[in-house]
Amino acid sequence: MKVIKLLLIWGITPIFLSGCWNRVEINDIAIVTAIGLDLVEEDKIRLTLQVAVPSKLVTGGTGGTGGKSTLMISETGATVSEAYRNIQGKLPRKIFFSQSRILLVGEDLAKKGVFHIVDFHTRYSEPRINSFIMFTKGEASKIISSMPHFENISAEETRELAKMGVGIKVYVRDFMNMLLTEGLEPFASQFTLEPLEVYTKNKSGKTQALNGIAVFKGDKLAGWMEEDETRGLLWLRNEMKEGVISIKIPHDQDGGNISMEIVRAETKIVPILKGGKIKLDVNVVTELNVIENDSKLNLFETKAIEEIQKYAEEKIRKKVELVIDKAQKEFGSDILGFGQAIYKKYPKGWNTDYKENWEKEFPQTKVTIHSKALIRRIGLVK
């Protein structure tokens, strides 16, 4: 008997000990698909959540036709977590952040500083640090509540779009890293709603679009860069995966355009310390395939190829130059990581000379761009 009693006690206690304290059934959670943050009333944070409604999401299931597949819900608070608790008061299901891959921040809030947002997102266990962080010129909640065209949920489209590699891809963890790294200022992609069709009288709907980047200085938004500069930044960050560059042939060579796709691009930032003065060399090597040619140039001639390469080099150089200029002159924010490059090559020099006053030095640093373009394939047509 004693044995049986002992066995019973041993068997039963663990069940009560564990208590299944964080056990939540899958149909008792509110799956957050996107998080939006805006500034309201000067100093309050408005947290907007896009919550999936599973029963409306799955087609072919029992019932569930009609009705929106997502629920928009928002609440304000002094901090993100306060707003989150306030929302929980309005939701019958437990808010669950881990499936959300989108963190959208409105312009006003970004200008005030985003450190505490990123802090919540990385410190709290639920949100993913590999969510995409994006900034928007208007209100974040507006973009979150846009209607999806392909997927069931607009956040899914946002994620797919961010993953494509057209624009720049910045995860929350990357943002946090950039924020904490010396000699590197954070940036993230800019997100907007744009009309589906252009130059038409059709009343077409709006769709999400990734264009440009938000440039930060510290944790505060410094300004925006447009599409063109984004490409330059991709080049500089060695993230150029695919893309097309078009060059114009001058009129004395019968004009026309040639388009090339980028096969491979490699960029090296080389700091040179000479006589106590820092100088930066940016070496850009690009491999290209010609995909479209409406000029009179005969690509089967080596001379023509060399000429095109020269034009392409110039074009790429200008693109990179543009972004460097903007970062140096307009924002004075080292999103290019020049400081990092210096620190890596001359750690001692960085610590003694530049660490403290890099903010002042950066706009004045001389940067030379060496662009090299190589055409690999020219296609089958003369």
Partner 1 sequence: MKLFRQIKRLTAKTKAFMWEGSVQDQGNSEGLTGSLENDFHRIKQLFEGAADFSYREMKINQMNSVVILYLNGLVSIERLEIHVFHPLVTANEKLPQHVDINIDDLKGILSSAQVSQGATFREVIDQILAGGTVVLMNGSKQALFISEQSWEQRSVDEPVSEAVVLGPREGFTENIRTNGSMIRRRLKTTKLKFEYMKLGSISQTEVMITYLEDIAETSIVEEVRSRLKRIEIDAIEDSGYIVEFIEDQPFSLFPQVLQTERPDRVVGNLLEGKVGILVANSPFALIVPVTFFEMMNSPEDYYGRFIMTSFIRFIRYLFLAVALLFPAIYIAVTTFHHELLPTNLIFSVAASREKVPFPAVIEALLMEITFEALREAGLRLPRPIGSTVSIVGALVVGQAAVEAGIVSAPLVIVVATTGIASFMFPSYALTGAIRLLRFFLIFLAATLGFYGILLGIFFILVHLVQLRSFGVPYMSPVAPFHFNNLKDIFIRVPWWMISERPNETGKRNLKRLNPRNRKY
Binding site for partner 1 (CB under 8 A): 2-3, 6-7, 14-15, 18, 20, 22-27, 29, 31, 33, 52, 54-55, 57-58, 61-62, 64, 96, 98-99, 101, 126, 128, 152, 156
Shorter beta-carbon distance to partner 1: residue 31 or 221: 31
Shorter beta-carbon distance to partner 1: residue 40 or 91: 91
Which residues, 6+ apart, have CB-to-CB distance to 151 below 8 Å?
A: 157, 160
* Strand intervals (E) in 218-355: 220-225, 244-248, 257-274, 277-293
CA distance readout (Å), 205 to 60, 99, 198, 285:
27, 27, 11, 40
Can you tell me the distance from the alpha carbon of 169 to that of 234, in angstroms, rounded to the nearest whole number?
10
In the complex, minimum distance from the CB of residue 162 to partner 1, in angstroms, rounded to a whole number: 14
Which residues, 6+ apart, have CB-to-CB distance to 19 below 8 Å?
A: none
Shorter beta-carbon distance to partner 1: residue 72 or 179: 72
What is the length of the chain? 382
What are the backbone angles phi and psi of residue 233, rounded to the nearest 5°?
A: -65, -40
Could you tell me if 367 and 277 are in contact, meaning their C-beta atoms sit under 8 angstroms apart?
no
In the complex, minimum distance from the CB of residue 20 to partner 1, in angstroms, rounded to a whole number: 6
Q: Which two tokens stand for residue 365?
A: 């640093």
What are the backbone angles phi and psi of residue 193, rounded to the nearest 5°?
A: -105, 130
Could you tell me if 163 and 157 are in contact, meaning their C-beta atoms sit under 8 angstroms apart?
no
In the complex, minimum distance from the CB of residue 52 to partner 1, in angstroms, rounded to a whole number: 6
* Strand intervals (E) in 82-238: 94-96, 102-106, 132-136, 187-195, 206-217, 220-225
Shorter beta-carbon distance to partner 1: residue 96 or 224: 96
In the complex, minimum distance from the CB of residue 57 to partner 1, in angstroms, rounded to a whole number: 5
Which residues, 6+ apart, have CB-to-CB distance to 276 below 8 Å?
A: 353
In the complex, minimum distance from the CB of residue 71 to partner 1, in angstroms, rounded to a whole number: 13
Can you tell me the distance from the alpha carbon of 208 to that of 94, in angstroms, rounded to the nearest whole number?
29
Shorter beta-carbon distance to partner 1: residue 18 or 200: 18
Shorter beta-carbon distance to partner 1: residue 60 or 275: 60
The helix (H) or strand (E) run that includes residue 373 is strand 366-377
CA distance readout (Å), 14 to 7, 10, 22, 24:
12, 7, 15, 19
Shorter beta-carbon distance to partner 1: residue 26 or 198: 26
In the complex, minimum distance from the CB of residue 29 to partner 1, in angstroms, rounded to a whole number: 6
Shorter beta-carbon distance to partner 1: residue 31 or 327: 31
In the complex, minimum distance from the CB of residue 299 to partner 1, in angstroms, rounded to a whole number: 46
In the complex, minimum distance from the CB of residue 237 to partner 1, in angstroms, rounded to a whole number: 28
Shorter beta-carbon distance to partner 1: residue 2 or 90: 2
In the complex, minimum distance from the CB of residue 270 to partner 1, in angstroms, rounded to a whole number: 42
Shorter beta-carbon distance to partner 1: residue 146 or 181: 146
In the complex, minimum distance from the CB of residue 46 to partner 1, in angstroms, rounded to a whole number: 24
**85: buried, middle or exposed (CB in 10 Å: 19+, 13-18, 0-12)?**
middle
Can you tell me the distance from the alpha carbon of 9 to that of 157, in angstroms, rounded to the nearest whole number?
53
Could you tell me if 120 and 81 are in contact, meaning their C-beta atoms sit under 8 angstroms apart?
yes
Can you tell me the distance from the alpha carbon of 250 to that of 255, in angstroms, rounded to the nearest whole number?
5
